[in-house]
Amino acid sequence: MSSSRYYAPTQLNEAVQQLAQQGARAMAGGTDLLVQMRSRLEKPAAIVDLKKIDSLRRVDITADSVRIGSGVTGAELGENTALVACYPGVVEGAELIGSTQIQGRATIGGNLCNGSPAADSVPALIAANGICEITGASGERQVAVADLLLGPGRLDLQPGDIITAIVLPKPVAGQADAYLRFIPRTEMDLAVAGVAVNLTLDEQGVCQQARVAIGGVAPTALLVPDAGAALVGTRLDATALTAAGEAATAAARPISDKRGTVEYRRKIVAVLTRRAAVIAAQRTGRAS
Ligand SMILES: Cc1cc2nc3c(=O)[nH]c(=O)nc-3n(C[C@H](O)[C@H](O)[C@H](O)COP(=O)(O)OP(=O)(O)OC[C@H]3O[C@@H](n4cnc5c(N)ncnc54)[C@H](O)[C@@H]3O)c2cc1C
């Protein structure tokens, strides 16, 4: 590994200044970045370690919103019972990342910024209508998670931009989410496909809103509006679930690789859509 300068700022403005240097890279848990440096895919001139910036490591739940600091790890998300109650699907996506050791380091912001099409935390953030708060040399801005992703490893970020938090709306009564992925092994593998469903049922069990996002089956994780629309107005009967699954298959643009073929991924994403929708509905406590 070639040498790099190392900074560990405690304040966000310091980090922004340090990242303005040519060739500087942000590091959160380092579980992607250090692997890429060892493989010589990355040779940053300077590493700006974000882990000591307290403001990035908080989860704040208010009457209107759930704000997850980008530097919160999977393990920390899983221990936050209030967050799990609001967004069990977001937490289960983040908790699927790696092993116990990886969970202690890997952050939700790093998972998003690495730009992997199969990143496990991302579909549930899209399904939740998450918004990224971004700070950089040119100031602050907000970008929807779904719009941040441009392609594998490519994001709508300027050099030196830091995602400070992902903000989700506070769920309403009858709203819940779920994330399911399929991997060839029992753990520690990338998703062949992953699906997140976020929906709201009324007191009669009729679906009032649904957002379905798919991962691992296109250059980026994607929102599939047609899949959500297939569920709205139904009690998630077999016809509606099948239609949602078919919409997910139609939206998928997968590749064949050692984990699965195009045809396999198209089938799996439909199965996961149906199952994740049922789990999310059960979590509302209003499913008929
Ligand atoms: C053994 C192993 C198993 C894994 N299993 C999975 C898995 O099952 N599912 C999965 O999705 N991933 C998996 N990963 C990948 C990795 O652990 C995750 O992507 C992790 O969430 C990355 O977070 P991090 O904090 O370690 O990011 P880092 O490695 O620190 O950073 C990743 C990238 O994001 C940038 N970055 C980090 N934080 C910010 C920020 N706040 N603002 C702007 N840029 C930022 C960095 O510059 C870098 O480019 C695995 C990795 C390993 C080594």
Identify the residue whose tokens are 């040519």. Answer: 22
State the Rg of the chain over Cα: 19
Establish whether residue 102 lines the binding site of ligand 1, counting it when its CB lies within 6 angstroms of any ligand atom: yes
239 and 164: one domain?
no
Q: Which of 135, 169, 203 is the last residue of a domain?
A: 169
153 and 106: one domain?
yes
Distance CA 95, CA 75 (A): 7
Distance CA 219, CA 209 (A): 26
Ligand 1 site-directed mutation target among 19, 25, 27, 142, most atoms within 8 Å of CB: 27
Ligand 1 site-directed mutation target among 16, 111, 121, 180, most atoms within 8 Å of CB: 111
Report the CATH number at residue 88: 3.30.465.10
What's the CA-to-centroid distance between 113 and ligand 1, angstroms? 7
164 and 262: one domain?
no
Establish whether residue 37 lines the binding site of ligand 1, counting it when its CB lies within 6 angstroms of any ligand atom: no
Identify the residue whose tokens are 């047609």. Answer: 226
Establish whether residue 136 lines the binding site of ligand 1, counting it when its CB lies within 6 angstroms of any ligand atom: no
Report the CATH number at residue 42: 3.30.43.10
What's the CA-to-centroid distance between 154 and ligand 1, angstroms? 14
17 and 88: one domain?
no
- Are 20 and 160 contacting, i.e. CB atoms less than 8 angstroms apart? yes
Split into its structural domains, the chain has a count of 3
Distance CA 271, CA 227 (A): 12
Give me the pLDDT at residue 288, please: 82
The helix (run of H) or strand (run of E) holding residue 240 is: helix 238-251
153 and 62: one domain?
yes
What's the CA-to-centroid distance between 27 and ligand 1, angstroms? 9
Distance between first and last Cα of the chain:
57
For 139, half-sphere exposure in the C-beta direction (CA atoms, 13 angstrom radius) is: 2
203 and 163: one domain?
no
22 and 78: one domain?
no
pTM: 0.97
162 and 83: one domain?
yes
212 and 150: one domain?
no
Distance CA 191, CA 4 (A): 32
Residue located nearest, by CA, to atom 33 of ligand 1: 114
What's the CA-to-centroid distance between 163 and ligand 1, angstroms? 13
Ligand 1 site-directed mutation target among 102, 103, 121, most atoms within 8 Å of CB: 102
11 and 76: one domain?
no
What's the CA-to-centroid distance between 142 and ligand 1, angstroms? 21
Residue 19 lies in a domain: yes
Residue 175 lies in a domain: no
103 and 128: one domain?
yes
Distance CA 160, CA 99 (A): 29
Establish whether residue 30 lines the binding site of ligand 1, counting it when its CB lies within 6 angstroms of any ligand atom: yes
258 is in which domain, residue-wise? 191-284
Give me the pLDDT at residue 2, please: 65
92 and 156: one domain?
yes
Name 186's Cβ contacts closer than 8 Å, sequence gap at least 6.
Answer: none
Establish whether residue 137 lines the binding site of ligand 1, counting it when its CB lies within 6 angstroms of any ligand atom: no
Q: What is the pLDDT along the chain (288 residues), one digit of tens a residue?
A: 568 899 999 999 999 999 999 999 999 999 999 999 999 777 899 999 999 999 999 999 999 999 999 999 999 999 999 999 999 999 999 999 999 999 999 999 999 999 999 999 999 999 999 999 999 999 999 999 999 999 999 999 999 999 999 999 999 999 999 999 999 877 777 889 999 999 999 999 999 999 999 999 999 999 999 999 999 999 999 999 999 999 999 999 999 998 889 999 999 999 999 999 999 999 999 998
